[in-house]
């Protein structure tokens, strides 16, 4: 849909207001570009290159994470999406502890949040997720979060009214003069087999990155440049039930180069 003059004016006003309040509201932010090259992907063409933009921030009343993937298929185009495609997620969370100005910590729980995600891309990929989130204090981890979502999907595909459990984490391992960072997430759609009507089944996607802090070793600055791998295990990829005729279980790894700015 093309933006209208009114929408552009509104967007400009919101950006100006955001910049004016950024000093008071924004606590920190980070942006990055990642290049990935991998083989043996399921359903889509086997060889893929991906360029990913990521943004993460923490602000006065919560936090935000978003990413956009531009995926290039090597060797042959995807029959539905052509030689390339895109996919992204926008995930804001609101902290009840910060909004209420109260300490909601209890045992391993550091904070209670309202978690939301918007998924978008080509094909039948649009979905809205909302549910409770927890920030957990797990010894040794940089962070550990757990979100439990109720999914609502757009378009003809089933999936509305299903539950998704999504933990995400970050862990640092010192290695010599530098560090290895292990971070990632797991998306587990847990209860959709009975209502899938053959279109969208329960599925599980484990997607960690294992990255060496190359920038620290080379004197470019800590947490600036990483090299490593991204592992992807996806049972029933895209919610498509695996069968002898079509194996939808993905198990692959991609070479990774990531730059923060």
Whole-number CA gyration radius for the chain: 20
Query: Do residues 36 and 256 touch, judged by C-beta distance below 8 A?
Result: yes
Which is more confident, 143 or 14?
A: 143
- Alpha-carbon span 187 to 182, nearest angstrom: 17
Pairing of strands 250-260, 26-38: antiparallel
When mean pLDDT is compared across 124-128, 130-134, 186-190, 223-227, the lowest value belongs to 124-128
pLDDT in tens, 2-16: 444 444 444 455 555
Q: Whole-prediction pTM value?
A: 0.86
pLDDT in tens, 28-74: 999 999 999 999 999 999 999 999 999 999 999 999 999 999 999 98
| Model pLDDT, residue 155 | 64
When mean pLDDT is compared across 2-6, 104-108, 137-141, 246-250, the lowest value belongs to 2-6
Give 28-260's CATH code, choosing from 2.40.30.110, 1.10.3720.10, 2.40.230.20, 3.90.45.10: 2.40.230.20
Instruction: Parse the chain into domains and list their residue ranges.
Output: 28-260
Q: Using the predicted structure, report yes or no on whether residue 76 has a pLDDT greater than 70.
A: yes
pLDDT in tens, 151-192: 998 765 555 679 999 999 999 999 999 999 999 999 999 976
Q: Using the predicted structure, report yes or no on whether residue 237 has a pLDDT greater than 70.
A: yes
Query: Do residues 199 and 192 touch, judged by C-beta distance below 8 A?
Result: no
Exposed e or buried b per residue across 190-206, where buried means at least 16 C-beta atoms within 10 angstroms of its C-beta: eebeeebeebbbbbbbe
- Alpha-carbon span 95 to 93, nearest angstrom: 7
Q: Residue written as tokens 């550990």? A: 144
């Amino acid at each position: 849909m093309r933006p209208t003059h009114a929408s552009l004016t509104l967007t400009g006003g919101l950006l100006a207001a955001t910049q004016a309040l950024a000093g008071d509201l924004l606590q920190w932010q980070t942006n990055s570009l990642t290049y990935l090259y991998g083989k043996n992907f399921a359903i889509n063409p086997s060889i893929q290159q991906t360029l990913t933009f990521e943004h993460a921030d923490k602000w006065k009343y919560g936090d935000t994470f978003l990413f956009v993937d531009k995926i290039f298929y090597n060797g042959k185009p995807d029959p539905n999406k052509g030689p390339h495609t895109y996919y992204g997620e926008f995930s804001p969370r609101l902290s009840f502890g910060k909004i209420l100005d109260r300490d909601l910590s209890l045992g391993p729980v550091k904070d209670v949040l309202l978690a939301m995600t918007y998924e978008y891309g080509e094909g039948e990929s649009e979905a809205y997720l909302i549910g409770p989130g927890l920030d957990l204090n797990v010894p040794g981890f940089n962070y550990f979060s757990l979100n439990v979502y109720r999914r609502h999907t757009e378009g003809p595909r089933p999936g509305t009214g299903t539950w998704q459990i999504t933990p995400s984490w970050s862990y640092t391992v010192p290695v010599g003069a530098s560090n290895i960072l292990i971070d990632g997430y797991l998306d587990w759609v847990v209860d959709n087999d009975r209502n899938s009507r053959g279109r969208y089944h329960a599925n599980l996607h484990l997607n960690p990155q294992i990255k060496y802090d190359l920038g620290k070793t080379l004197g470019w600055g800590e947490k600036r440049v990483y090299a490593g791998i991204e592992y992807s295990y996806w049972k029933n990829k895209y919610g498509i039930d695996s069968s002898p005729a079509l194996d939808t279980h993905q198990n692959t790894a991609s070479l990774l180069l990531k730059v923060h700015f």
